[in-house]
Copies of this chain bind each other. A is one copy, B any other.
Amino acid sequence: MKTYKVLALAIICLFLSIFEASASVGGDSLRADNRALRTRGAVEGLMRRNAPRLTFRPNEITPDSFSAWKAEMKDAMTRLMRHPDSQSEEPKMIKRVKRCGYTLEKWESYPLDSTVVPFLVLIPDGVDANNPAPAALCIPGFGQTKELLAGERNDNFNLEGEPDTTLIKNTMALDYVKAGIVAVAVDNPSFGELSDDGKADYIETSRFLLECDWSYLGLTSWQDRVILDWMKTQPEINPERIIVSGFSLGTEPLMVLGLLDDSIYAFVYNDFLCRTRERALTMDKPDQNGARPFPNSIEHLIPGFLLEFDFPDIVSTLAPRPVICTEGGMDRDFGIIEAAFSTAGAPENFEWHHYPMFADPSKRIQLEAMPSGIDRATFFRLANVDPPSHYFKSHLILPWLKKHLDKDGE
């Protein structure tokens, strides 16, 4: 049974590879000069000809040159993110309530002039200035609020009443505080308390930011960075043990902060990992209307980002600091990141897990390159993604974190 499935998948891939060859640069292969008549072919060709400048190539980067490569990556990310020089004001606490086993605080940060960005802080009982603890900056996914992460009702901005005990999954911050870790939960821009009168407006705000030569990820990572820097100053937090934990959309600011801030101790990457450039160039099968939309919306657009690097390159720069990836992807990419951790002298600090459905290696397809002309479902299948199983994987993360936090004389 298993063998048949693998064989069937292999045949699909072969078919798709042939399709790709015949559909080069947007289906213009009928021209003898192989030029693209369709603008789609022209712009895909432009992206194909401009591979990321800083791609991590394990065979080319040695332990000696690894730091120099990381420095180049950091320079490029600094340039792309366009963070302001300073925040507008220091964060202030505005409310504190007691919960069972922890204290829940609401704070406000002021990352830009005329702007306020609230966040939640969950402090385990027994943790204080005399007994500081590790801390996790918890960044939610698309459509998630800081309140969900903290186990509160989604609209409980005043921290009134009881926590929402019906929540089972994705209470990232609550899971951490129960494990003795100070948890700081933030909102992504344009959602939850930061939404437009309750209306999520990721795309609208992204457009304004892009017009201003900034980006949704630039703003998000700046908001998160202000809060991360504040965390380092809090007496109940051990600044040597700050973790950044991102779910789904939240893995993007995680990567930015990781590359820009060497003081972060470890990273929890709770999403599947892929090459976003490869996805754009291959997930281009026409839909029922004949349209071939870009795979994601403009909250993911940072002009020029993909000319510099892609996600696996950035995760590679986090070496030798501990990283866990909890929802798989292509073994090809994990092999590259693994090589980076070996180059950095800490192979044991990178751990990854596939979705349960693809945990058995025989269920996974080994591809060196995605075939083009595929739809979202095929992309997910070939990238070993099981969308219904996309949630915060505490059961993998907490033991892994404990192992790393207990190291080095804790």
Report A's interface with B, CB cutoff 8 A. Answer: 25-27, 31, 33-47, 49-50, 110, 112-116, 118, 189-190, 193-199, 201, 203-205, 207-214, 219, 277, 280, 286, 289-294, 298, 301, 303-307
Contacts and interface: CB of A to CB of B under 8 A. Distances in A.
Q: In the complex, which of the residues A31, A38, A189, A198 has the most CB atoms of chain B within 10 Å of its own CB atom?
A: A38
Contacts of A25: 114
B46 A208 contact: yes
B301 A207 contact: yes
B293 A39 contact: no
A210 B303 contact: yes
Nearest to A291: B199
Contact of A39 (B33, B45, B46, B205): B205
A292 B201 contact: yes
B46 A112 contact: yes
A190 B197 CA distance: 36
A213 to B, nearest CB: 4
Nearest to A296: B207
A210 B27 CA distance: 22
A286 B277 CA distance: 34
17 contacts: A27-B197, A35-B114, A35-B115, A37-B193, A40-B201, A43-B212, A44-B208, A47-B211, A196-B292, A199-B286, A201-B291, A203-B293, A204-B294, A208-B280, A213-B303, A298-B298, A303-B303
A204 B40 contact: yes
A116 B211 contact: no
A405 B49 CA distance: 44
Q: In the complex, which of the residues A26, A33, A43, A118 has the most CB atoms of chain B within 10 Å of its own CB atom?
A: A43
